[in-house]
Structure 1
Amino acid sequence: MTSPSFSRRAHLQQLAFGAGLAATGLLPARLALAAQAENTPSEQRLVVVLLRGALDGLSAVPALGDPAWAALRGGAETPTALPLDSTFGMHPGLAHLHRWYQNKELAVVHAVASPYRERSHFDAQQQLESGGERPFVLSTGWLARALQATQHSAVAMTPAMPLALRGADRANTWTPSRRPNKSQDTLDRIAAMYADDVPLASALAQAMAQQDKSMGAEPSTGAGLTVLAKQAGAFLSAPRGPRVAWLEVGGWDTHSQQTARLGRMLPALDEALAVLRESLSVHWATTSVLVMTEFGRSASMNGSQGTDHGTAGVAFVAGGQVAGGQVLTDWPGLGRSQLLDGRDLRPTRDIRALIMPIVQRQFQLSTGAMSDVLPGASQPLGNLWRA
């Protein structure tokens, strides 16, 4: 017969361990909501990562071989960049992405932008997420329209539904559960109550440490993004779970002290993407990951050692079937006469031409359906997938 003390100990250990798993996102409270069953789930998977605030593409992927680079941006960034080809390098904080590039599982798309040519984050994000030719001509998202045409499901790892998924009946949101904070006095009393029970005290301490680590992380940056990326991979790996996930990261508006800030943010993004891949496991082979931002930044640094709102920037496409190991660009050059308005990297590709082949591969849509998803978009970018 099991003793009452042993039964109580085992039960509370299970509760403490479960609390720790839920706090780290491994046992999500809203799993059933986010991972709706599909009638015919696709084997293809898609993850879209939006970098809100405008990533400086010339820092993430510097054009070291451009004749104007040394005068424009030469200095601390140049010697440490990881080589891509004779013209481009990669920020040293993107070590995982660089390895994917070397393994031909990551393609870089440079000098890319939406048709937007002003410098408002709000307007630029609205146009990028809606997929329109101008801000606010469309009220639903391009990803939502693709989902609606196919009745596939998606999950956004965000507290509120992003515009890109608005209009889709089978889109849901998910974020880690946040339990009400207990007073320190209450926690101290609980700890004292079980101080003499070593196994239970240890389990309780472990659970509280896991909860503190998870709750202390901002959901869109650093460790918080890693938690969301891991859970996104778990959702997409479920046999009848969603096949599309949306993540986003804020804080890329680097008007000041850009080098130091990107030195923290780019490695955090890199680590989260690596965790996403690990969580997907064997499904990486059928996954496409698109990383994009609303616009680029000024080619020259400002007086605060940052950059201002610009135009063209960089995007990344990764996955097991991506024709990686290449920088796809019609490079416009960085000479003063080559810059847009004498200040910005000139866009030579419409980002919707990059989105098109990714959507077509994921959803197998007809040409007519694609015109509804991305109205007015140009010819899709080629050479993006392995033969």
Structure 2
Amino acid sequence: MTNVFHAPSRRELLLASGVLFAWTHLPRAALAEGRDPRFLTIVLRGALDGLAAVAPVGDPDWVRLRGDNALTLTSATPALPLDNFFALNPAMPNLARMYRAGHAIIVHAVASPYRERSHFDGQDVLESGFIKPGASDTGWLNRALATMTPAERARGGKEAFAVGPVTPLIVRGAAPVMSWTPPKLPPATQDTVMRLLDLYRHTDPALARALEERVDLAKIAREGGLTMSPQKGGMPAQKGPGAYIKKYFADSAGAAAKFLARDDGPRIGALAFDGWDTHANEGAASGHLALWLDALDGALAAVESGMGPAWQETVVTVVTEFGRTARINGTAGTDHGTATVAFLAGGALKGGRVVADWPGVNDVHLYENRDLKPTTDLRAVLKGVLRDHLRVDAHALDDKVFPGSAGVKPMGRLVISA
């Protein structure tokens, strides 16, 4: 079976990764403590191979499990050591640097409550926060926002809401959410926009408010240098699929950071990056996965750079719907699995740690004799960040944000403010 690279279309990239969804309110509890926290969630759609991203080089069964595909400290392209047991994929030097600076945490052998292997159902559980797919049409991040008491609203108290080609489940719900996509066409002149606003204020006040929010967001984009000059095809020219993906990831994440860093910008946002379904020619060190991890690493660096001083008040969570099989398949790839890794980055973290109740990769320890066994509930990680960084109420986390999760205790000591 041959793995042929398919360069994503502009529409596919827009739907997958070109939209920032953010909330304009600032949580009162955090501001009362003299903090101004920022929170960004990045969803990796397609299921990340956690063993290839963070290799258990200290596990005696690791090399036997993956043979020549096993990343080690002595590989031709050596893995980046994290501690005396785990090592990071060599495509992620920026995350390794953040880890050494205490600005990154890796949680291994982690999974949502979902135990099947459907991308659609797995993403539904990941983004809804419920234990079963199809149980809700709202997302855990939106419900978390709805539980917070806003101290004030950015941009002069105007309401905001979702606009754009698609709204991910994670941000759907009652809390007002706005969005931004990189412009593909020259914008209307300021005079045209003002005339339309004046017209709709008299004929359609709701639409006028929507346009006002869009104008404000576009103003932030221009002032932050986030607009693109018109290009043939709508995107800058690229020198290959790797450069194309890396630039797009970095541009999207960098735009998110510039919005979140502004004094009058949003404080909470979400992005989604597609392309992690590595059934064939995965290539942990030099193939498809290495390319995507390199792009993700660049995206995290773009967030760090774009946040500026606000990086010290920032937490970024990187999550995916499930992991991939422990063993390499017959086409040098991995199939749908169970446990994986979650990345946390940001200056607000008590970082420099890998958090893992390691299950082992011996055949007898694998989940259903094929997958890395999950030992940490992803909801515990997310609950810990939401509770200690954004001060979401613990009871609300159990009952509203992640319904039926009272038995899943928030993971502590993740952030400095805990």
Indicate the TM-score class for this superposition, using the shorter chain for normalisation: 0.7 to 0.9
Rounded to whole Å, the distance in 2 between the matches of 1:72 and 1:158 is 44
Cα pair 1:45 1:244 within 8 Å, conserved: yes
Q: Please state if 1:238 is matched with 2:262.
A: yes
Deviations 1:87-145 (A, max 9, x none): 11000000000111111111100000011100000000000101011112222111000
Q: Mark the CA change 1:141 to 1:48 in structure 2 (over 3 Å): closer, same or farther.
A: same
Could you tell me which residue of structure 1 aligns to residue 371 of structure 2? 344
Q: Please state if 1:251 is matched with 2:300.
A: no
- What stretches of structure 1 of length at least 5 have no aligned partner? 1-29, 181-205
- Map 1:84-95 → 2, pairs under 5 A: 84-95=82-93
Cα pair 1:178 1:215 within 8 Å, conserved: no
Cα pair 2:104 2:345 within 8 Å, conserved: yes
Q: Please state if 1:44 is matched with 2:50.
A: no
State the secondary structure of the residue aligned to 1:360: helix
Could you tell me which residue of structure 1 aligns to residue 146 of structure 2? 148
Q: What is the one-letter code of the residue matched to 1:258?
A: E
- Map 1:1-387 → 2, pairs under 5 A: 36=24, 43-76=36-69, 77-78=71-72, 79=75, 80-150=78-148, 159-179=165-185, 213-214=235-236, 221-259=245-283, 260-371=287-398, 372-377=400-405, 378-386=408-416
TM-score of the two chains, using structure 2 as the length reference: 0.73
Rounded to whole Å, the distance in 2 between the matches of 1:83 and 1:100 is 13
Q: What is the one-letter code of the residue matched to 2:146?
A: Q
Rounded to whole Å, the distance in 1 between the matches of 2:394 and 2:81 is 38
- What stretches of structure 2 of length at least 5 have no aligned partner? 1-18, 154-159, 187-227
Report the Cα offset of residue 319 of structure 1: 1.1
> Percent identity at matched positions?
43
Report the Cα offset of residue 365 of structure 1: 2.3
TM-score of the two chains, using structure 1 as the length reference: 0.79
Report the Cα offset of residue 374 of structure 1: 1.2
Q: What is the one-letter code of the residue matched to 1:54?
A: A
Rounded to whole Å, the distance in 1 between the matches of 2:279 and 2:164 is 25
Q: What is the one-letter code of the residue matched to 2:102?
A: K
Cα pair 2:388 2:415 within 8 Å, conserved: no
Rounded to whole Å, the distance in 1 between the matches of 2:164 and 2:54 is 27
How many aligned residue pairs are there? 332
Deviations 1:220-260 (A, max 9, x none): 94211211111111111121211011111101000001001
Q: What is the one-letter code of the residue matched to 1:69?
A: W
Q: Mark the CA change 1:169 to 1:365 in structure 2 (over 3 Å): closer, same or farther.
A: closer
Quote the RMSD (CA, aligned, Å): 2.9
Report the Cα offset of residue 385 of structure 1: 2.2
Rounded to whole Å, the distance in 1 between the matches of 2:262 and 2:174 is 21
Cα pair 2:24 2:267 within 8 Å, conserved: no
Deviations 1:177-220 (A, max 9, x none): 1128xxxxxxxxxxxxxxxxxxxxxxxxx9566986548799x9
Q: Mark the CA change 1:211 to 1:118 in structure 2 (over 3 Å): closer, same or farther.
A: closer
